[in-house]
């Protein structure tokens, strides 16, 4: 799932079953298109993908950089990030997405390409990657659909899915208010940077590089990318 909508109101989201069910119901009604994935903001897709590519390039300039064999697209939606970015950098890209009609669209779109990889029809709160198989796990605009507890648990499982020198990259909306803000429309939260970093640390990871996404409309949340490695 992807979404980059502007600010919602704040509310404690941690009523787990309703939180996840309401989100699933929302996304079931969203058309499997780039505009649907980006909340009507398909115009930012190219800027987003280019920003991601620049950030990934910067990670390969450091000592002990990850390999380029296999990546995972977490919350893959219709495969926008896989096709527009990850496949240009990795030989194999696996996709995990809980909404079946999005995943079906991704499979259809990728069938005519040179895509190699698996498709997992699961929410991230239920997904466990294979052990030590991924060079990069890319998770974008989806962690707001996880409770704090499930986010930490998911990152811990992802950590075990990394190869030596592998990295997790998170790309997320962040609040500037210092508070968690709740979007009742799609049943998601947007966290402040301090909370996101705290949850990352609780998962036994550390931020090795952080960068703001440039050239997004000023009325959107700030979007940042975080490269994470196991402590």
Q: Is 40 annotated as a binding residue?
A: no
Alpha helices, DSSP H, located in 64-124: 80-84, 100-110
Q: Is 125 annotated as a binding residue?
A: yes
Is the distance from CB of 197 to CB of 183 less than 8 angstroms? no
Q: Is 201 annotated as a binding residue?
A: no
Q: Is 80 annotated as a binding residue?
A: yes
Q: Is 213 annotated as a binding residue?
A: no
Residues in the annotated binding site for S-adenosyl-L-methionine: 75, 80, 124-125, 140
Residues in the annotated binding site: 75, 80, 124-125, 140
């Amino acid at each position: 799932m992807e979404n980059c909508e502007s600010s919602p109101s704040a509310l404690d989201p941690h009523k787990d079953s309703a939180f996840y069910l309401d989100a699933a119901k929302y996304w079931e009604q969203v058309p499997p298109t780039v505009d649907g994935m980006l909340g009507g903001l398909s115009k930012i897709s190219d800027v987003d993908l280019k920003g991601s590519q620049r950030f990934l390039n910067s990670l390969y300039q450091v000592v002990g950089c990850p390999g380029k064999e296999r990546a995972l697209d977490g919350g893959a939606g219709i495969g926008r990030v896989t096709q527009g970015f990850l496949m240009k950098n990795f030989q194999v890209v696996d996709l995990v997405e809980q909404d079946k009609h999005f995943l079906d669209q991704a499979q259809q779109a990728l069938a005519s390409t040179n895509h190699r990889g698996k498709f997992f029809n699961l929410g991230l709160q239920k997904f466990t990657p294979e052990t030590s198989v991924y060079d990069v796990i890319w998770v974008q605009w989806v962690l707001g659909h996880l409770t704090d507890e499930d986010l930490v648990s998911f990152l811990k499982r992802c950590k075990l899915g990394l190869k030596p020198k592998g990295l997790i990259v998170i790309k997320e909306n962040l609040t500037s208010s210092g508070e968690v803000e709740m979007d009742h429309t799609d049943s998601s939260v947007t966290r402040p940077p301090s909370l996101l970093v705290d949850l990352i640390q609780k998962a036994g990871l550390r931020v090795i590089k952080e960068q703001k996404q440039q050239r997004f409309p000023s009325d959107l949340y700030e979007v940042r990318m975080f490269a994470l490695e196991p402590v």
